[in-house]
Amino acid sequence: MSQFPTPPTAPSLADPANFDTRSDAFLAWMTDIATQWNTTEPYISGDSPSFANVVATGYVQVNGQVLASNGTAALPPYSFENDPDSGMFWATTNQIGIATNGLERGRIAGANWVWGKTAVDISVAGSVSYSNGQITATSDGRSPIEINRLGTSGNFINLLQDGTQRGVIGSDGADLYIDSDSTGAGVEFVGGAWLPRKAGAKADDAVNLGSGSYRFDNIYATNGTINTSDENEKQEIATLSPELMKVAARVSKEFISFKWNSAVKEKGDQARIHWGTIAQRVEEAFHAEGVNPWEYGLLTLSFWMEHTDAEGVETRYDGQSDPSTIPDDAVMRVRLGVRYTELLSFVAAYNEQRFTSLEERLAVIEAK
C-alpha cells in the first residue's frame, strides 16, 4: 500500500517567473494521484480527514480505528446499500445495538448477548446468553423454549456435569421419558401410566419409589396397591411351622396406638393417633422363639450416614453415595420398617391355623 506523494509548490501569479514550471509540476502531481487512486492501494493520512462519501470497488484497509457516528436503530452507521435501516449502532456505553427494519432486535451488552429486548431483565420477553454460559428465556404467552428432534426417537436434552452425563429427556415413539445417568432410574409416561426405567430402558421389578432414608409422605389413590401374587413366580410354599405359630402369637399382641414424633414436632397436641406395630417388638418376638427374623421379608432394615455441617445443613449418604464423599464425622442412622401386607398375612395365617386346631379339638369333645 502506497501513500499519496507530497504535493509540489503550487503556482502563483505573484511569481510569474516560475508559474509555468510550477503549473507543469502540479499537473504531473495530480496525474500521479489519479493513477495511484485507480491502480494501486492508496491511503489517506492526517489527523481528521473527512469525506462525504467514499466508494471503493475493492477493499478498504484501515491501519487504526474507524470512528463511525453513534447512529440509531432507524439509521445504523454500519448498514447495507439495499437495506439501510438494518445493521449495527451504538446503544450506550459498552453496548452495541443490532437493528432490522429500523428497530432494535438485540444488543451485545458488555459480555452478554441480549435478544428481543434491550436489557438483562428476566421479567421482559426475550432471551439472554451470558458470558458464563447461562441462558435465560422469557416469553409472553408462548413456550419460552421449544425443542424439535427430527427423525428417529431419542434424546431431546442431554444433561451433563463437568463433561459427565447425569441425565436425559427424550421420547420413545410418542412416549416421553426422563432418565438419570446411564445406570440410574427414570420414568416413562406411556398413555395413562408411569412406567419405571433403569439404565436407559423400561425396567420390570428394578426401581424403588423412595428409600429408607428419603421417604414419601402420603400417597393418595382411588385403589390400593396391586402386589404380584402369581403362583408361577413363587416356590417353597408352606404353612406356619410350630415355631412360627409361637412367634405369631407374640406378634399379635403387639398392635398398639401411637403418634409420630415428626407430627408432634409439627402439630403438637393436634397430632393424630395412628394404629400399627413397632418393628423392634416384632423383631424381639422372633428372637424370643429362637427364630431369625431376617430370614423373612416382613421386616425391613435401612441405614445411612448423616452429617450436619456448621451451618446446620443436614446431608444424608446412602448406599448409592460415593464413600470418598462421606465426612469422617458422619453418624450412622438405622431405621426399621414393616411390610404390613406380609405382617397381617402372617397373623392371619396364625389365626386360621389356630382356629382350625380349636375347631378340631372342639369337634372331638362334642363327639364324646
Mean pLDDT, range 275-288, rounded to an integer:
97
Local confidence band at 65 (pLDDT 50, 70, 90 cut-offs): confident
Q: In the chain, pLDDT over 70 holds for what percent of residues?
A: 93
Does residue 38 carry a pLDDT above 80? no
The answer as to whether 304 is a domain residue is: yes
CB contact set of 103 (below 8 Å; sequence gap of 6+): 73, 74
Domain tally for the chain? 3
Q: What mean pLDDT is reported for the chain? A: 89
pLDDT for the residue 34 = 72
Considering the domain architecture, whether residues 323 and 278 belong to the same structural domain is answered as yes
Local confidence band at 272 (pLDDT 50, 70, 90 cut-offs): very high
Considering the domain architecture, whether residues 287 and 352 belong to the same structural domain is answered as yes
- Lowest average pLDDT, out of 30-39, 145-154, 186-195, goes to 30-39
CB contact set of 266 (below 8 Å; sequence gap of 6+): none
Question: How many whole angstroms from its chain centre is CA 40?
Answer: 59
The answer as to whether 343 is a domain residue is: yes
pLDDT for the residue 44 = 57
Assessment of whether the complete model's pTM goes beyond 0.85:
no
Considering the domain architecture, whether residues 115 and 186 belong to the same structural domain is answered as no
Kindly report the CATH number assigned to the domain that includes residue 336. 1.10.10.10
The answer as to whether 35 is a domain residue is: no
Considering the domain architecture, whether residues 182 and 270 belong to the same structural domain is answered as no
Largest CA distance in the chain: 168
The answer as to whether 62 is a domain residue is: no
Considering the domain architecture, whether residues 351 and 268 belong to the same structural domain is answered as yes
Which residue segment(s) compose the domain that 177 sits in? 154-202
pLDDT for the residue 59 = 78
Considering the domain architecture, whether residues 245 and 356 belong to the same structural domain is answered as yes
What pLDDT, in 10s, does the model give residues 256-268?
Answer: 999 999 999 999 9
Distance CA 262, CA 256 (A): 18
What residue type is 354 in one-letter code?
Answer: R
Mean pLDDT, range 313-321, rounded to an integer:
85
